[in-house]
Amino acid sequence: MLLPLPTPSEMALWDREAIHSFGIPGITLMESAGREAVNALLEEYGDVCGSVVHCFAGPGNNGGDAFAMARHLADLGADVTVFHTRPKKQYRGEARTNLLWAQKLDIPLIHLASVNLDGLPQPDVIVDGLLGTGFSGSLRKDMLALVRCVNRLGERAFVLAVDIPSGLNGLTGRPQPKAVIADITATFQTPKLGLVLPEAHEFTGEVHVCPIGIPLKIQEENPVKHHLITGDILRSIPAPAPSMHKGKAGHLLILGGSEGLTGAPHLAAMGALRAGAGLVTAACPGGLADSVKSGSPDIMTLPLGTGTQWSPSMMEELMPHLSRFDAVVVGPGMGRSSNTPVLVLSVVAEQAIPMVLDADALYGLARFPKVVDELREHAVLTPHPGEMGMLLGTDAAAIQADRLGAVDRFTERSSATLVLKGAGTLVARPGMTCLSPFAEPNLAVGGSGDVLSGVIGSLLARGMAPMEAACLGVFWHGLAGRSMKEDYPYRGNLASEIAAALPHIPLTNKE
């Protein structure tokens, strides 16, 4: 359900433990890396016999992987040349061993300092082994020129990046300031965090995860903080029993709606119903109840008062009913009147019930930072970047510039589960951050977030733990958005259609 996404430093620790604690020779790991990367190339490119291959080998182990690949490619009949950045005598360790083996096979080894980059011949295949995941900072002038050279040649060649495209930051997924644009990336053991962030997609191409033999015991004893949500999480969707009745499938309360914003609680309710909730009740100002229901007999309503505005007295009316519900979603379309913070705080005070805090509830909470700090584990917050900015006292641009950092700042102060929406949605609790694999334009429509809050609320109402409900809800919602592409390749789908797609997602879906 969750695939580890080590940071460069966490991956380096796994390597050290494998070599020094378990005694697995580094040359064995490098040999496995070279062989598996070649297999990835054969799978995507096809037969390399007769193909002209340029392997670019950097100064470290990434370069060693390129030397190892050169041997295997030469044995497969490719016309291989290795262009290396260091003088041959300066290579050390496993990289030097692979250099010497390649030399014994009479593979041409050319020091890049001795050639004119503009005069390099056009290859059919490029192996980018210049820089690995340990790269940070900005590219030096000489390495920047090499990256540009690889990209120029890569316009008419198939490019494989070894572990990560050179110039890409393994932690943030951003170029520094340029990066190799690869057709595929052969990454080792498990994807690195930066590889799966949305910013990296235009550089990585298809990512192939290549096992190299780092024992599972090492990974379990040295757990990582970040994980990728995978298709296996769909198995967590509660299976319906033949004897099931609506009372056993969770009763969710949606608390929201205001003048002009009655569609939001309606969409949240439909998201919950389409995700399998047995019962859904929308509580709203009494004068808006018919509009929130919007002709849908599936949604029950709980009118509060008789007007169209929220007031603190409505909470007194609501409180006797709270025990009927298994979970509550607070905020869709609630509006930002002066009463909103009071209403949100009134519900948050009843923290015995699992809850999703969304939209205008987050606006209310942002005015009371101490309450945010005191939220408990069974609260799930689902902000978009603007709302996240309000919670952290900054703006949407600052959040988007460092989404992982924003999540860390929040989880350091609150025990609640956080869902930071957007391309590559992040789901986090203290000590763990999970990444959605989806960046779907079809989800970028008004009301999509309301549907998501309903899905998560439905799962909470059926007894799922907040982190699991949030991860499953985000993944399921992402798949529904992706399913819109077939009928709406240029967008144009509605949030209600995203909700309607939820029950049609096959449980065998793999991402």
In the three-class reduction of DSSP (H, G, I as helix; E, B as strand; rest coil), residue 251 is classed as: strand
Which residue reads 């024992």 in tokens?
Answer: 215
pLDDT band for 455, please (50, 70, 90 cuts): very high
Residues 282, 332, single domain; the answer is yes
CB-facing half-sphere around the CA of 439: CA atoms within 13 A: 10
The parent domain of residue 348 ranges over 232-504
* pLDDT surpasses 80 at 244: no
Residues 139, 253, single domain; the answer is no
CA atoms of 225 and 12, how far apart (whole Å): 15
DSSP lists the bridge partners of residue 303 as: 284
CA atoms of 60 and 72, how far apart (whole Å): 19
pLDDT band for 347, please (50, 70, 90 cuts): confident
* pLDDT surpasses 90 at 266: yes
Instruction: Report the pLDDT value the prediction gives residue 346, as an integer from 0 to 100.
Output: 86
Asked if residue 224 lies in contact with residue 10, where contact means CB atoms within 8 angstroms, the answer is yes
* pLDDT surpasses 90 at 511: no
- Decide if 509 is inside a domain: no
Instruction: Report the pLDDT value the prediction gives residue 3, as an integer from 0 to 100.
Output: 95
Mean pLDDT lowest for which of 204-213, 242-251, 301-310, 398-407?
Answer: 242-251
Residues 295, 219, single domain; the answer is no
Question: What is the per-residue pLDDT across 378-436, written as a single tens digit (0 to 9) for each?
Answer: 999 999 999 999 999 999 999 999 999 999 999 999 999 999 999 999 999 999 999 99
- Decide if 510 is inside a domain: no
Amino acid code (one letter) for 199: E
Residues 383, 282, single domain; the answer is yes
Name the CA dihedral angle for 341, 446, 432, 411, rounded to a multiple of 10 degrees.
Answer: -20
Residues 45, 170, single domain; the answer is yes
Instruction: Report the pLDDT value the prediction gives residue 510, as an integer from 0 to 100.
Output: 54
Residues 446, 499, single domain; the answer is yes
Residues 146, 64, single domain; the answer is yes
Q: What predicted TM-score, i.e. pTM, was given to this entire model? A: 0.93
Amino acid code (one letter) for 378: H
DSSP lists the bridge partners of residue 282 as: 254, 301
